[in-house]
């Protein structure tokens, strides 16, 4: 019995050590990745949330992740396509939010059809197609009650003439969509071909409210 008691203590200590080590190692990896990405517009906490979600989701391609940070001004580059294997930001660009989500800043989000608001949370990319906006990409919401109506709402990634620096200079802010994360026309094909067919997208916004509703163990 004494032997078993001693063994259990050693076992518990070993498990505790491994947990602490893995947690610390994970933090070091995230820190290492963030530094290597060298992207000042990318928020470190938002990156970590995206990585937490990636670890918990079953997507086909885990080497590529897209982050859209709607807590930033529409006049800033706030969409980042990242190659995790190469530890490189492939695209850092402008992205529109829904017209009913706000002006320069997106403050209101929805999962409702015809709301013309953006949705937040985790999405999986589907297949590209050609529609009224040209080459476009459907995305599927992965969170029930938060963004799972994305397909019904026709929330897609597409190019738009109101998403570029010249539009900002003329109008004081980026243009707005009907809920889609619209991007500059000149990047549409390259971005879509990079993230299509089963990569993860994390759209950040109104984090405190989202934390209470999401199923993912975010920070």
The verdict on 12 and 67 lying in the same domain is no
Q: What is the pLDDT of residue 215?
A: 87
Instruction: Note whether residue 128 is domain-resident.
Output: yes
Q: What is the pLDDT of residue 208?
A: 83
Residue 29: is its pLDDT beyond 60? no
Give me the domain span that covers residue 21. Answer: 1-37
- What value does the mean pLDDT take over residues 171-184? 97
Residue 33: is its pLDDT beyond 60? yes
The verdict on 152 and 209 lying in the same domain is yes
Name the band, by pLDDT with cuts 50, 70 and 90, for residue 6: low
The verdict on 144 and 53 lying in the same domain is yes
**3-state SS, one letter per residue, for the chain:** CHHHHHHHHHHHHHHHHHHHHHHHHHHHHHHHHHHHHCCCCCCHHHHHHHHHHHHHCCCCCCCEEEEEECCCCCCCCCEEEEECCCCEEEEEECCCCECCCCCCCCCCECCCCCCCCECCEEEEEEEEEEECCEEEEEEEECCCCCCCCCCCCCCEEEEECCCCHHHHHHHCCCCCECCCCCEEHHHHHHHHHHHCCCCEEEEECCHHHHHHHCCCCCC
The verdict on 70 and 102 lying in the same domain is yes
The verdict on 47 and 18 lying in the same domain is no
Instruction: Note whether residue 218 is domain-resident.
Output: no
The verdict on 121 and 202 lying in the same domain is yes
The verdict on 104 and 207 lying in the same domain is yes
Instruction: Note whether residue 51 is domain-resident.
Output: yes
Residue 8: is its pLDDT beyond 90? no
Mean pLDDT value across the chain: 89
pLDDT digit string (tens) for 109-156?
Answer: 999 999 999 999 999 999 999 999 999 999 999 999 999 999 999 999
Instruction: Note whether residue 219 is domain-resident.
Output: no
Of 20-24, 52-56, 167-171, where does mean pLDDT reach its minimum?
20-24
Instruction: Note whether residue 76 is domain-resident.
Output: yes
Name the band, by pLDDT with cuts 50, 70 and 90, for residue 15: very low
**Whole-prediction pTM:** 0.86
The verdict on 22 and 48 lying in the same domain is no
Tell me how far apart the alpha carbons of residues 60 and 39 are, in angstroms, rounded to a whole number: 26
- What value does the mean pLDDT take over residues 90-98? 98
Q: What is the pLDDT of residue 195?
A: 98
Instruction: Say which residue the tokens 């539009």 belong to.
Output: 167
Task: Report the domain count for the chain.
Answer: 2
The verdict on 104 and 17 lying in the same domain is no
Q: What is the pLDDT of residue 211?
A: 86
Q: What is the pLDDT of residue 27?
A: 47
The verdict on 1 and 66 lying in the same domain is no
Instruction: Note whether residue 168 is domain-resident.
Output: yes
Could you tell me the CATH number of the domain that includes residue 166?
2.40.440.10
Q: What is the pLDDT of residue 209?
A: 83
The verdict on 87 and 145 lying in the same domain is yes
Of 2-6, 76-80, 83-87, 209-213, where does mean pLDDT reach its minimum?
2-6
The verdict on 18 and 86 lying in the same domain is no
CA neighbours closer than 13 Å in the CB half-sphere of residue 160: 24
């Amino acid at each position: 019995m004494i032997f078993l008691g001693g063994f259990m203590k050693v076992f518990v200590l070993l498990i505790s050590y491994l947990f602490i080590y893995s947690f610390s190692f994970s933090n070091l990896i995230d820190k290492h990745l963030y530094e290597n990405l060298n992207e000042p517009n990318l928020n470190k906490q938002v990156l970590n949330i995206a990585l937490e979600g990636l670890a918990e989701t079953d997507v086909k391609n885990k080497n590529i992740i897209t982050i859209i940070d709607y807590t930033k001004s529409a006049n800033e580059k706030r969409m980042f396509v990242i190659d995790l294997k190469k530890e490189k930001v492939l695209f850092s660009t402008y992205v529109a939010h829904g017209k009913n989500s706000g002006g320069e800043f997106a403050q209101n989000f929805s999962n409702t059809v015809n709301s013309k608001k953006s949705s937040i949370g985790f999405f999986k990319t589907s297949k590209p197609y050609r529609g009224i906006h040209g080459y476009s990409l459907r995305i599927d919401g992965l969170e029930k009650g938060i963004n799972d109506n994305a397909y019904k709402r026709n929330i897609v990634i597409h190019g738009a003439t109101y998403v570029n620096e010249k539009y900002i200079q003329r109008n004081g802010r980026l243009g707005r969509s009907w809920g889609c994360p619209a991007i500059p026309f000149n990047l549409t094909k390259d971005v879509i071909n990079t993230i299509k067919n089963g990569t993860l997208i994390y759209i950040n916004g109104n984090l405190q409210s989202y934390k209470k509703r999401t199923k993912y163990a975010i920070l």
